[in-house]
Amino acid sequence: MTQWLANVFRLGLKELSSLRADPVLILLIVYVFSFAVYSVATGAKLEVSNASVAYVDQDRSALTGRILGAILPPEFNPPQEIAANEVERVMDSGQFVFVLSFPPAFEADVLNNRKPQVQINVDATAMAQAGNGSVFLQHIIRTEVAKFVSGDDAATTLPIDLVVTSKFNPNLNSVWFSSVMQIINNITILSVLLTGAALIREREHGTIEHLLVMPVTPSEIMVAKIWANGLAIVVAAILSLWIVVQTILAVPIAGSIPLFIFGAVLYLVSVTGLGILLATFTTSMPQFGLLSLPVLVIMNLLSGSTTPMESMPVWLQNVMQLAPSTHFVAFSQAILYRGAGLEIVWPNMVVMVALSAVFFLVALKRFRVTMATVH
């Protein structure tokens, strides 16, 4: 056992040396855990921001002016007036996300309780912005109409007190969500790519034959690749959480980072094993990339990191329970977003350990077959 551990350690140092000598992979790791996290967090916002609004005002009353004056930045750009016959054209060309249409005698009908209609045309190709923005516009219109009719500019009162408390993200800031999720997804992506690339690199450089004549076993080679590449990913993830997320983006981390890293290490055994498994079916980096792409896309999109698991069909939810990424995302969100402790996340950790063992054994079996074929 001592000799096995010594061989794994030395082979892992060789892997780290090979990684250090590959500037492309080093640049990829730095980019993925720095600029990619920052750019996605600040650029891909889910909330309404600077949405373009146009309006058709056939009433030109004080009420319509009041409503238009309440549509303000930063959610909306100042509304621009267009003619009634231009609505279809500006919507088709994508010039505006929202177009409001006020009918003639709108103010008079409101005062006489005739319930006039205000049309809100929404470009729903941008679904998140369209959905949230239309809700904001409806709220603005209702509020301003209620204030105008009552003659009181104070906040309108309801027969009940509705208290909404936003837990874990009080300002509903999408940067808090997307920055952390980007790191979680990048751990999955790089775990597969780095370990697979390490095996492909051995083949392309001809060093796999050198390993075969050495007194080492396939399990030692495989475990060495896992711990060396996993170490590089863990270090990069820690630095990204500290420098990019907490320092630059000022996103608070609610839970224990050591507990998150411990769970990430358990998870890395399965996804690095998956990377080696995929690499055994290919002979070059282009083939490996083409094989990995659909696997990574499915793992990320259906793991709960992009959309909630509850919104998926039940059968798909059951299938995705076999993917370690599903449990890692749930584990990471519970710790980093909600401050959960070991007493809450331990079931996810148990499942990750079980799936890691399965993936590792399957990858090891396939790796031994591949080594025997090369020999």
Cα dihedral sign, 281-285-291-295: positive
Q: What is the dotted CATH code of the domain comprising 53-150? A: 3.40.1710.10
Q: Which are the contacts of 79, defined by CB distance < 8 A and separation ≥ 6?
A: 53, 54, 55, 68, 71, 100
pLDDT value of residue 197: 85
Cβ count within 10 A of residue 20:
11
* Inter-residue contact 54 to 82 (CB < 8 Å): yes
Most confidently predicted of 158-167, 244-253, 359-368: 244-253
pLDDT band at 21 (very low <50, low <70, confident <90, very high): confident
pLDDT in tens, 31-72: 999 999 999 888 777 678 888 999 999 999 999 999 999 999
- The whole-number average pLDDT for the span 76-86 is 93
Tell me how far apart the alpha carbons of residues 254 and 334 are, in angstroms, rounded to a whole number.
9
Is the per-residue pLDDT at 260 higher than 90? yes
Instruction: Supply φ then ψ for residue 361, to 5 degrees.
Output: -65, -40
Structure tokens at 346: 């331990």
Tracing tokens 């992979």 back to the chain, one arrives at 25
pLDDT value of residue 372: 65
Tell me how far apart the alpha carbons of residues 226 and 295 are, in angstroms, rounded to a whole number.
19
Tell me how far apart the alpha carbons of residues 301 and 304 are, in angstroms, rounded to a whole number.
7
Q: Which are the contacts of 366, defined by CB distance < 8 A and separation ≥ 6?
A: 277, 280
Q: Beta-strand (E) ranges in 67-221?
A: 80-81, 98-102, 119-122
Per-chain mean pLDDT for the chain: 86
pLDDT value of residue 336: 92
Instruction: Give the percent of the chain with pLDDT over 70.
Output: 93
pLDDT value of residue 14: 84
pLDDT value of residue 182: 92
What b-and-e string marks burial along 295-332, b requiring 16 or more CB atoms within 10 Å of the CB?
bbeebbebbbbeeebeeeeeeeeeebeebbbbbbbbbb
Least confident of 46-55, 209-218, 283-292: 209-218
Is the per-residue pLDDT at 375 higher than 60? no
Model's pTM, two decimal places? Answer: 0.80
- The whole-number average pLDDT for the span 154-172 is 67
pLDDT in tens, 271-282: 998 888 898 888
According to DSSP, the residues that pair with 121 across neighbouring strands are 99
Q: Which are the contacts of 91, defined by CB distance < 8 A and separation ≥ 6?
A: 99, 121, 123
CA distances to 62, 150, 268 from 105, in Å: 11, 19, 66
pLDDT in tens, 309-334: 887 888 988 999 888 999 999 999 99
Cα dihedral sign, 132-136-142-145: negative
Extents of the domains making up the chain: 2-44+173-374, 53-150
* Inter-residue contact 30 to 239 (CB < 8 Å): no
Instruction: Give the percent of the chain with pLDDT over 90.
Output: 39
- The whole-number average pLDDT for the span 108-137 is 87
* Inter-residue contact 165 to 136 (CB < 8 Å): no
pLDDT value of residue 326: 92
DSSP-assigned letter for residue 309: G
Tell me how far apart the alpha carbons of residues 106 and 57 are, in angstroms, rounded to a whole number.
9
pLDDT band at 118 (very low <50, low <70, confident <90, very high): very high
pLDDT band at 125 (very low <50, low <70, confident <90, very high): confident
